[in-house]
Structure 1
């Protein structure tokens, strides 16, 4: 049985599948060429990340497809309900990348809190001629410890963010319409741990209370979750991170909030116009930037590959 891993697959997943006599093709096929490639090679399983889309049109012209797999959490690049109506299994890996995404959130928070996104740009250019002025420009850094972090979306990733924040000595508040209370287990060395129960609050209250805000919600179908009205509710000097989906934040409103000083800094891993983000966003000195790499760690990719392989084998075993 042939599997097309069009956006790549970790070697651990490839090895697990080939050991069960699957043929795994990792050749990158252009979106427009997918129908011909899938039909010519009689691909039964297509695995994607965020680059490749599997829409109704592709499903309709590729009757050989039996399983669609998404390496990651969100499946907004797949017409999930339509595929399932056609009898196609759709799978993803919701827990495999939680730790990696959560750590990236804090990479952005630490970077913005100490101006790393700006100093890393300017030090190579001016560090040997304007060292003193650069040092003065970056003297107003802040600590995370003791501050309040607002987590919007308390799924697996949001709870992992809470775990790290509690370990850092932060106060955690959260908003989630589908989760009333989350119990967070914070582990320490020698098998010691504490349990912390976090009850969710209305979004408006979380926005008003937080020194730092991080978003972990699905793609928005009806406008932005964070726009002008939401920025108006926030503290002056707040920081915001989006490692969820582009379009959750109104980027124009974000730029205005950054320029006015309402928002101290932002961290963005996702953008409205991926893969061609707005130049104003890319060049703003108060924004820490990554190119949608939340799950791009060796450990997460290993877990994603193994999870997809295990799910595929279980599905076919139970057919």
Structure 2
């Protein structure tokens, strides 16, 4: 059995091992694959693993031996799943690998908006605090998360993890999901209410045809000033 990894460097720049895959078959790992080389590199392989390299309908036509496509990420919009379904090809993703990391990064961004730590560090090193006539130096207003409203669009694993952290910061957490799962860290509301009430809005939904471009003039117009 031939196994091809199209963009291994994205997932494993050298700190992980591919030995588990090697034990399953004849493994070839490419660090990166340009779009024009995808079909040629897959060739007659039965298993294809990819992170961000697209696998299109045309590629699948040229690679009839493919039986399984594994996406080494949560999103699988890089694979033409319709074409794969027609050919009986199984497509899977890894829905849980980045839950904690993504939730943590949400708050890295929110805290940067609230405190501008990097900018204040630069300003202090440049002597701005020394030149300031007041002891309490700041270049931007400092905002506390406690008491603010965090609105989530998409309340799956990552959304619910974000909700838990938000509650720990003392935030009110509201969320919208087409298929809500019970979660004690948030209150489900309509999408309109998320737009209207939130001080921060964080999106944790897959990109689908019905939500592409959902943050636009109309939805922003429904939000409070300063969201």
TM-score normalised according to structure 1 size = 0.62
Structure 1: gaps spanning 5 or more residues: 184-195, 239-319
Deviation >6 Å, runs of 4+: none
Q: What is the aligned-residue RMSD (CA, Å)?
A: 2.3
Report if the CA contact (8 A) 1:159-1:182 is conserved.
Answer: no
Report if the CA contact (8 A) 2:174-2:188 is conserved.
Answer: yes
Match of 1:7 in 2: 7
What SS class does the counterpart of residue 220 from structure 2 fall into?
A: helix
Report if the CA contact (8 A) 1:102-1:161 is conserved.
Answer: yes
Aligned counterparts, 1:122-161, within 5 A: 123=123, 127-131=125-129, 132=131, 135-138=137-140, 140-161=141-162
Deviation at 1:172, TM superposition (A): 0.9
CA distance in 1, matches of 2:221, 2:31: 48
Match of 1:35 in 2: 39
Match of 2:198 in 1: 210
Report if the CA contact (8 A) 1:151-1:214 is conserved.
Answer: yes
1:234 aligns with 2:223: yes
Report if the CA contact (8 A) 2:7-2:29 is conserved.
Answer: no
1:68 aligns with 2:69: yes
Match of 1:286 in 2: none
Deviation at 1:216, TM superposition (A): 0.9
TM-score normalised according to structure 2 size = 0.85
CA distance in 1, matches of 2:110, 2:223: 17
Deviation at 1:24, TM superposition (A): 4.0
Deviation at 1:81, TM superposition (A): 2.0
CA distance in 1, matches of 2:25, 2:36: 29
Question: Higher relative contact order by CA 8 Å / sep ≥ 6: 1 or 2?
Answer: 1
CA distance in 2, matches of 1:2, 1:27: 17
Which deviates further from its counterpart, 216-225 or 53-62? 216-225
Report if the CA contact (8 A) 2:67-2:89 is conserved.
Answer: yes
Deviation at 1:79, TM superposition (A): 0.5
